[in-house]
Amino acid sequence: MFCPECKSEYLNHIKSCPDCNISLVETNTMSEPQKINWIKIAEFSGTVYAEMAENILKDNDIPSYTKGDFLSTAYNINALTLPGGSVKLYIPESFQAQAEDLLKNLIEENE
């Protein structure tokens, strides 16, 4: 068994981590692909800038995804048609510095 919090390994009959006080997980789940820590790099007031940003990132081999605000996602409405609708742009944390540099001009323009 394995503690997802402190990464300690325990014998199979132990069910929770005495240090973190949380349930242990099966050790074999460790073989899943490395977990990516996604962070919000920017927020755009509409899909146009968000798509431009995504394209810039794609050109530089930086993975990204966008997420609209709750309303536009729930009702499947294009964020552009919603007053105040915003699109958040997420990238893996490891690309933060590079992405900030690439999107600097675009983000300033959007503000």
Find the part of the chain contacting Zn ion (CB under 5 A) among 18-26, 42-50, 79-87, 92-100: 18-26
In Å, how far from its chain's centre is CA 3? 23
Among 50, 39, 17, 46, CA closest to 98: 39
Choose, by CB under 5 A, the member of 9, 14, 16, 20 that binds Zn ion: 20
The residue behind tokens 């675009």 is 106
Choose, by CB under 5 A, the member of 9, 14, 16, 19 that binds Zn ion: 19
- Is residue 24 part of the contact set for Zn ion (CB under 5 A)? no
- Is residue 14 part of the contact set for Zn ion (CB under 5 A)? no
Q: Are 95 and 40 in contact (CB under 8 A)?
A: no
Interface residues toward Zn ion, by CB under 5 A: 3, 5-6, 17, 19-20
